[in-house]
Amino acid sequence: MIDYQAILNTIYANVTQESDKGEIATYIPELSGVDPNRFGMHLKLISGEEFAVGDSEVGFSIQSISKVLTLAMAMSQVGSTIWERMDVEPSGNPFNHLSLLELEEGIPRNPLINSGAIVIADILVTQLKNPKADFLKYVQDITGDSSISYNLKVAQSEKETGFNNYAAANLLKSFDNLHNSVDDVLDFYFHQCSLEMSCSQIAKAFFMFANKGVCLRDVGRLTKTQAKRINAIMLTCGFYDEAGEFAFEVGLPGKSGVGGGIAASLPHEFSISVWAPGLNPQGNSKLGMLALEQFTTLTKQSIF
Ligand code: DON
């Protein structure tokens, strides 16, 4: 038997004493005021047991972690037609890189970089009657938690400084890979990124990737194949130009966000989320990566 609580406590003691906690993201001004000393972690086993440490119930901006949830919703709505509009290859580049998109004629490398997530947002804007409300309801349903909401100040802040995302959306539009207006799609995208969730809520949302596509509640279910594919994309593309390092050090499918969160799953075993707001130069949570590396080392559980 693995003593998960003891392991989380050990990790908490180890990582919170690190003096270099990384840098808070400031390019979205509304994120810049977050306390760099925050640290939380939440583990949810397939058996239903849960373990937590630190600020695991405190909400934070999930940012790019939302890209996995919009991908899951889009896959459950339109299935594999998604792959007519984007690829499933790692980009080896930062999340907001643009030149590959031009070279590859408006086909994003994968759905977890910004350009790919903007195409997924476009698909949902086409599919959903009330895109922002329907996506929020989906996240509330899969977690069974109706208190989850958008942070409208963060969405507005990102809109005001989202020049790179406007460039990506316009480039997609010029290649005919955006069917709705740039403004409508980005309004949805900025809201999805502004979702505020705690580690505990994120671990519940990611439970379906550990549980063959079946959510905590019987809603928003993915097929077993769709869940497998999303795990594969997280493993190869979830950390941008640091995807190799995350597979090397941690060995789990996962996704980061510039709010300092990371969500990950071990298929058939658990989902896990960690939050430490300071980022490394690649834009991934510095202590979050360290914590997950220690977790897979101490539990001897990873996909490898
Ligand atoms: O589009 C952006 O720039 C942000 N809303 C999301 C970026 C992000 O979280 C990148 N991930 N590590």
pLDDT at 92: 87
Residue nearest to atom 4 of ligand 1 (CA): 63
- Average predicted confidence (pLDDT) for the chain: 96
- Whether 9 is in the pocket of ligand 1, judged by its Cβ within 6 Å, is no
Report yes or no on 75 lying in a domain. yes
Instruction: Grade residue 219 by pLDDT with cuts at 50, 70 and 90.
Output: confident
Instruction: Give the CATH number of the domain where residue 152 resides.
Output: 3.40.710.10
Binding-site residues for substrate, in ranges, read 64, 114, 158, 165, 189, 240, 258
For residues 121 and 115, give the distance between their C-alpha atoms in angstroms, rounded to a whole number: 10
Report yes or no on 304 lying in a domain. no
Q: Which domain holds residue 168?
A: 4-299
Instruction: Grade residue 95 by pLDDT with cuts at 50, 70 and 90.
Output: confident
64 as an active site residue: the answer is yes
Report yes or no on 117 lying in a domain. yes
ipTM value for the complex:
0.96
- Whether 192 is in the pocket of ligand 1, judged by its Cβ within 6 Å, is no
- Whether 96 is in the pocket of ligand 1, judged by its Cβ within 6 Å, is yes
pLDDT at 71: 98
Q: What digits encode the pLDDT tens for the residues 47-78?
A: 999 999 999 999 999 999 999 999 999 999 99
Given a contact cutoff of 8 angstroms between Cβ atoms, the answer to whether 70 and 121 are in contact is: yes
pLDDT at 216: 82
Report yes or no on 17 lying in a domain. yes
Residue nearest to atom 1 of ligand 1 (CA): 114
Instruction: Grade residue 218 by pLDDT with cuts at 50, 70 and 90.
Output: confident
- Whether 63 is in the pocket of ligand 1, judged by its Cβ within 6 Å, is yes
Of ligand 1's atoms, which has the minimum distance to the CA of residue 283?
12
Instruction: Grade residue 94 by pLDDT with cuts at 50, 70 and 90.
Output: confident
Rounded distance from Cα 64 to ligand 1 centre (Å): 5
Q: Is the pLDDT of residue 217 over 90?
A: no
Report yes or no on 165 lying in a domain. yes
Q: How many domains does the chain have?
A: 1
Report yes or no on 36 lying in a domain. yes
- The predicted model gives 31-37 an average pLDDT of 93
Rounded distance from Cα 249 to ligand 1 centre (Å): 22
Q: What digits encode the pLDDT tens for the residues 250-293?
A: 999 999 999 999 999 999 999 999 999 999 999 999 999 999 99
pTM of the entire predicted model: 0.97
Report yes or no on 46 lying in a domain. yes
Report yes or no on 241 lying in a domain. yes
56 as an active site residue: the answer is no
